[in-house]
Amino acid sequence: MSNGKQQRPGSRGGGKGHGAGASRGGGRSGGGRSGGARGGPGVPSQGGGAGPRRAGGSRPPRRRRPSTPPDPASRDVHSPEGVRLQKLLAGAGFGSRRACEKLIEEGRVEVDGQVVVELGVRVDPSRQTVHVDGDRVVVDTDKVYLAFNKPAGVVSTMEDDEGRPCLTDYVGHLSQRLFHVGRLDVDTEGLLLLTNDGDLAHKLQHPAFGVPKTYVAQVHGVVGPGVGKQLRDGVQLEDGLAKADSFRLVDDIPGHSIVEVVLHEGRKHIVRRMMEEVGYPVEALSRVQIGPVRLAELRPGKYRALSAEEVAQLYRSAGE
């Protein structure tokens, strides 16, 4: 839905009528493309050889100025028991060690906010942060970042007291303890982010950062020309005013419309309640994008690793 031509909710081979049992066959192995990320330890490969992998396998193309002026004498970030910085960068997909040494010598690499220009610096990837050209680089190989296409009928929890299909049915075999960033209600399908990076997950869910989320819905009725303005101006719900960041009509069929709604807040059933309020009840709903991460062709019940650029953009969205 998010890669050019928009699709209707439920049209990716498992949509609104996609039962949990049908999704779970093969649900324990994702089939999505990995976005160029390199493989990491403890994460099994998926069907087709494109398993979930740690972010950092492809160099983010954007080049920005370091956030701190070069001043190598200001603070010592050397960790004697750590790993050489150029080795970590090479492992994160920034080219050969010689190419990574050049990045350091050019003053484009920061450790804990300090520009590093010496090649002998060692870094502890489990507790220190690394930026290249101002972008956060994940050098901790234990960190996992996944995009998951939640089928309708699956609850957005790792366990369910009522025995309903849940996220563990799809990612419970992974060695890392993952948790989801935000939720989707049981009847909504689409994109969920799963990670073991608690700091990033907390920031992405914090309302102060306002990470946009894009939904595509099939609604009852043919949407009139003034609905978009009404939603952008805001509609009054029982828990306060709710505004859409953007709204557009994607398609219409007799008696129904396909619409795209972008929001930066995550109140419960927010899209369904807003559309109900303006007179167009939701019949099927899918989340197709969170910040820079798109669902694209990922099938229901499957997951993929985020690319290095996607992770860097998520950190950017979270203010880092």
Answer whether residue 169 is part of any domain. Answer: yes
Answer whether residue 67 is part of any domain. Answer: no
Same domain for 284 and 150?
no
Does the CA dihedral 291-296-299-304 come out positive or negative? negative
Answer whether residue 13 is part of any domain. Answer: no
Q: Which of 43-52, 61-70, 92-101, 175-184 is predicted with the least confidence, judged by mean pLDDT?
A: 43-52
Answer whether residue 179 is part of any domain. Answer: yes
Residue 272: give its domain's CATH number.
3.30.70.1560
N- to C-terminal Cα distance for the chain? 29
Number of domains, the chain: 2
Residues whose CB is less than 8 angstroms from the CB of residue 164 and which lie 6 or more positions away in sequence, other chains included: 20, 153, 154, 155, 186
Same domain for 36 and 155?
yes
Q: Quote the CA–CA distance of 15 and 165 in Å, as a whole number.
A: 16
Could you read off the pLDDT of 85-98 as tens digits, one per residue?
999 998 888 889 99
Report the catalytic residues: 185
Same domain for 153 and 273?
no
Q: Quote the CA–CA distance of 174 and 117 in Å, as a whole number.
A: 38
Q: Which of 31-35, 121-125, 220-224 is predicted with the least confidence, judged by mean pLDDT?
A: 31-35
Strand 135-137: give its sheet, edge to edge: 114-115, 109-111, 130-132, 135-137
DSSP per residue over 221-261, as a string?
A: SPPPTTHHHHHHH-EEETTEEE--SEEEEEEEETTEEEEEE
What is the total residue count of the chain?
320
Task: State the CB neighbour count (10 A cutoff) for residue 204.
Answer: 20
Q: Quote the CA–CA distance of 15 and 153 in Å, as a whole number.
A: 10
Q: Smallest Cα–Cα separation from 188: which of 168, 208, 217, 231?
A: 217
- Please identify which residue in the block is written with the tokens 């870094």: 123
Here the tokens at position 285 are 């709903």
What does the pLDDT average to over 150-170?
93
Give the bridge partners for 305, in sequence order: 146
Residues whose CB is less than 8 angstroms from the CB of residue 95 and which lie 6 or more positions away in sequence, other chains included: 59
Same domain for 51 and 183?
yes
Instruction: Tell me what percent of the residues of the chain surpass a pLDDT of 90.
Output: 50
Examine the pLDDT at 1 and tell me if it is beyond 60. no
Task: State the CB neighbour count (10 A cutoff) for residue 43.
Answer: 19
Answer whether residue 37 is part of any domain. Answer: yes
Same domain for 307 and 172?
yes
User: Which residues form the domain of 43?
Assistant: 20-55+142-208+293-317
Which tops the pLDDT comparison, 283 or 40?
283
- Please identify which residue in the block is written with the tokens 């869910």: 205
Same domain for 313 and 264?
no
